């Protein structure tokens, strides 16, 4: 019998392509008559363009076009946001400069080198306004964003003032986290190809092909079905590739202006300014505990940065409200608008920054109270969700504490700091709690059984280097009872059934069940055809009397009665048998 593949360590199905150079990333797709685009960025952080000189660039060898706000096609939908996670982007639509290195022109040439040279010839003059780019330089301007009555931006549970006043030990501390920029191995890149006036194909390095389709169709005024996004391999994203940025729109604009396919790859320096970042935070915490170490009050005030033209919130207080059992909790999220590009999601957004501050403060509280930091956390373990009072579906934090303590020999940790040494080296022993939410989103998938008995399973998801090709192939092979080599999983194309973005660690949990369910549905259809077909060895059996093994249906009571998948397809008279499920 075919052994289960899910949970089994296997070589990645895309591994050979990656190590031999066969994996094609967005900027490597071979497109006919492709041209190369290079962005020109602003040299001020805030103001207006008063003049932009492009004649030298236009006269340079190989240059096909220099597009600026003066000659770019106008698209009224560029500034529209239809979902909170949509980013407002800059598409050469006006003379306003909102941050340093903002795209103010794009040069298109027949080779990359010629485009790079011509881009250095574009110059601009500005009416500059002093820019503010640091949260701490403008803390007085911090405000609580209004996201409606159910907003988690300002939450109070219990009486925090009373809880802190009743504490035997109380601490106050302020922590800052810096700006962090995304630097995956593969920088952002897009190839834009127009087919006629209203059909656009984008080969884009993205974690969310359907997000790109939806957003670009809105900005360009196209029907969503007229925008196709393709992306078979992603060399990392860390959250920055979850939404399209300015370069995607500019690539499409440049392709429209030249009538040619345009490739636009972001440079490594531009990665620091054009595709989002984790915002800087300033976090003030107040904690109090009674003589037994039980938390009596907790206040967490977070200030983070956003741009002047868009809103992004680093939700650093979400964990604070649920991680420990404290009756009196107050959290507030505030923003400061700065002359910076809009921040974005970065590897555990909110949780990474928030737990750093919370856990650091807990250590300070433990030290001030003379308590063991691990015991302080155990004492305040939340057996139920402190916000809703509902039980957890599962929680193994106490077991994690136990195993972690054993692994690092926690009992050897002295109570007094700076006393543990290894020769001339001081040794630190510490611990902290962290968490990351797990979610699911609706996903669709298609399963096709080919005439040779092999299967093609498809879903419009993305592989950002985490093994999605392999995971989905395992799931499909198990559900269809096929050998691994007889299943091909296809992804990365908006022509396939829609699946959610590859963000938030929910690809396996969302697309995985869709793949499983569609393969089970295909297997059931095969069983239905076999039992109803007089030519099948399984004709007349009850469906639940039939199993599947190694590319065939078999009778459970007599496993010599087999009907191969290829034979079932052949008798169907169809070119293939397929099932598609939507959720």
Domain boundaries along the sequence of the chain: 28-130+183-272, 135-180+277-426, 445-581
Predicted confidence (pLDDT) per residue in 293-317, tens digit: 999 999 999 999 999 999 999 999 9
Mean per-residue pLDDT, 247-251: 98
**Res. 150 pLDDT band, cuts 50 70 90:** confident
The answer, yes or no, to whether residue 244 has pLDDT greater than 70, is yes
Query: Would you say residue 369 has pLDDT above 70?
Result: yes
3 pLDDT exceeds 80? no
CATH number of 135-180+277-426: 3.30.365.10
pLDDT value of residue 459: 98
The mean per-residue pLDDT over the stretch 389-412 comes to 95
Q: In sequence order, what E strands does 81-168 have?
A: 96-97, 103-109, 123-128, 154-157
Evaluate if residue 515 carries a pLDDT over 70: yes
Q: Which residues pair with 171 in a beta bridge?
A: 287
What are the tokens at 44?
């001020």
C-alpha torsion sign, points 69, 75, 81, 83: negative
The reported pLDDT for the residue numbered 313 is 96
Q: Do 455 and 518 form a contact (C-beta atoms < 8 A)?
A: no
Residue whose tokens read 């930091």: 373
Q: Which CATH architecture has domain 28-130+183-272?
A: 2-Layer Sandwich (3.30)
What is the model's pLDDT at position 2? 66
Rounded CA-CA distance 222/229 in Å is 14
pLDDT at 536: 97
* pLDDT classification of 227: cutoffs 50, 70, 90: very high
Mean local confidence (pLDDT), 548-574: 96
Residue 153 has pLDDT above 90, yes or no: yes
**What is the average pLDDT across 561-572?**
97
pLDDT for res 492: 98
Which pLDDT value is given to residue 1?
59
| pLDDT of 509 higher than 70 | yes
Average pLDDT over residues 32-55: 98
The tokens for 473 are: 């192939």
Beta bridge partners of 407: none
How far is the CA of 380 from the CAs of 145, 360, 416, in angstroms? 31, 16, 23
Question: Is the distance from CB of 579 to CB of 527 less than 8 angstroms?
Answer: no
Average pLDDT, the chain: 96
Same fold, 28-130+183-272 and 135-180+277-426: yes
Q: How confident is the model at residue 228 (pLDDT cuts 50, 70, 90)?
A: very high
Q: Per-residue pLDDT averaged across 410-427, rounded?
A: 89
Residue 487 has pLDDT above 90, yes or no: yes
CA distance 6 to 478: 7
pLDDT interval class at 43 (50, 70, 90) = very high
Q: Kindly state the average pLDDT of the residues 374-389.
A: 96
User: What is the per-residue pLDDT across 128-142, written as a single tens digit (0 to 9) for each?
Assistant: 999 999 999 999 999
- Helix, strand and coil content of the chain, in percent to the nearest 5, comes to 30, 25, 45
Cα angle 150, 156, 162 (rounded to 5 degrees) comes to: 165
Distances (CA, A) of 175 to 67, 142, 183, 519: 44, 16, 25, 50
Above pLDDT 70, what percent of the chain?
A: 100
Cβ neighbors of 483 (< 8 A, separation 6 or more) are: 2, 477, 550, 551
Mean pLDDT of 164-170: 98
Q: Which of 2-16, 511-525, 530-544, 569-583 has the lowest mean pLDDT?
A: 2-16
Q: Tell me the Ramachandran region of residue 323: left when phi exceeds 0, alpha when psi lies from -120 to 50, beta otherwise.
A: alpha
pLDDT of the residue at 77: 86
Consecutive H or E run containing 525: helix 507-531
Helices and strands per DSSP (H, E), number in the chain: 12, 26
Q: What is the pTM of this model?
A: 0.95
What gap in Å lies between CA 565 and CA 110, rounded to an integer?
51
CA distance 89 to 276: 11
- In this structure, whether the domain defined by 445-581 belongs to CATH 3.40.1260.10 is answered with no
Sheet architecture: strand order including 295-307: 154-157, 329-338, 295-307, 281-289, 169-177
Q: pLDDT tier at 439 (50, 70, 90 boundaries)?
A: confident
Query: In sequence order, what DSSP letters do the residues of 71-82 get, joined into one string?
Result: TSPP-GGGG---
Judged against a pLDDT cut of 70, whether residue 60 lies above it is answered with: yes
């Amino acid at each position: 019998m075919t052994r289960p593949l899910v949970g089994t360590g296997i070589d990645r199905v895309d591994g050979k392509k990656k190590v031999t150079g066969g994996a094609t990333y967005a900027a490597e797709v071979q497109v006919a008559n492709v041209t190369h685009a290079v962005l020109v960025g602003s040299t001020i952080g805030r103001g207006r363009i008063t003049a932009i000189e492009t004649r030298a660039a236009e006269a340079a060898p190989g240059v096909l076009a220099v597009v600026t706000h003066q000659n770019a096609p106008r698209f009224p939908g560029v500034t529209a946001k239809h979902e909170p996670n949509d980013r407002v982007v800059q598409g050469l639509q006006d003379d306003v400069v909102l941050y340093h290195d903002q795209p103010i022109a794009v040069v298109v040439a027949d080779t990359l080198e010629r485009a790079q040279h011509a881009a250095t010839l574009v110059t601009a003059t500005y009416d500059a306004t002093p820019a503010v780019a640091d949260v701490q330089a403008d803390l007085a301007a911090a405000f609580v964003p209004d996201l409606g009555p159910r907003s988690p931006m300002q939450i109070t549970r219990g009486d925090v003032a009373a809880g802190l006043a009743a504490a035997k030990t109380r601490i106050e501390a302020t922590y800052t986290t810096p700006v962090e920029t995304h630097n995956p191995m593969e920088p952002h890149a897009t190839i834009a190809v127009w087919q006629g006036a209203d059909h656009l194909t984008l080969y884009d390095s993205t974690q969310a092909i359907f997000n790109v389709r939806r957003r670009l169709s809105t900005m360009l005024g196209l029907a969503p079905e007229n925008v196709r996004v393709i992306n078979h391999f992603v060399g990392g994203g860390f959250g920055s590739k979850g939404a399209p940025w300015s370069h995607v729109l500019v690539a499409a604009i440049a392709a429209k202006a030249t009538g040619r396919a345009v490739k636009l790859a972001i440079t490594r320096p531009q990665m620091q300014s054009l595709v989002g970042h984790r915002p800087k935070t300033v976090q003030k915490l107040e904690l109090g505990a009674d003589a037994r170490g039980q938390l009596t009050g907790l206040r967490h005030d977070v200030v983070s940065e956003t741009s002047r033209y868009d809103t992004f919130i680093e939700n650093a207080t979400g964990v604070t409200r649920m991680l420990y059992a404290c009756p009196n909790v107050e959290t507030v999220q505030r923003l400061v608008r700065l002359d910076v590009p809009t921040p974005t999601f970065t590897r555990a957004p909110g949780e990474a920054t928030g737990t750093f501050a919370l856990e650091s403060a807990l250590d300070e509280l433990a030290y001030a109270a003379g308590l063991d930091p691990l015991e302080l956390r155990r004492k305040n373990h939340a057996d139920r969700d402190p916000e809703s009072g509902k039980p957890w579906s599962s929680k193994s934090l106490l077991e994690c504490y136990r195993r972690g303590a054993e692994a690092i020999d926690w009992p050897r940790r002295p109570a007094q700091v700076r006393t543990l040494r290894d020769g001339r080296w001081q040794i630190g022993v510490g611990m902290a709690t962290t968490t990351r939410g797990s979610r699911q989103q609706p996903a669709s998938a298609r399963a096709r059984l080919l005439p040779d008995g092999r299967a093609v399973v498809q879903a419009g998801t993305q592989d950002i280097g985490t093994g999605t090709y392999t995971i989905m192939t395992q799931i499909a092979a198990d559900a269809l009872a096929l050998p691994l080599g007889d299943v091909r999983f296809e992804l990365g194309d908006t022509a396939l059934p829609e699946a959610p973005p590859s963000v938030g660690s929910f690809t396996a949990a969302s697309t995985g069940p869709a793949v499983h369910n569609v393969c089970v549905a295909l297997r059931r259809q095969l069983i239905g055809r076999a039992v109803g077909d007089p030519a099948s060895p399984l004709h007349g059996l009850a469906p639940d009397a039939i199993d599947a093994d190694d590319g065939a249906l078999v009778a459970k009571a007599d496993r010599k009665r087999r009907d191969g998948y290829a034979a079932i397809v052949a008798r169907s008279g169809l070119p293939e048998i397929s099932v598609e499920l939507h959720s």
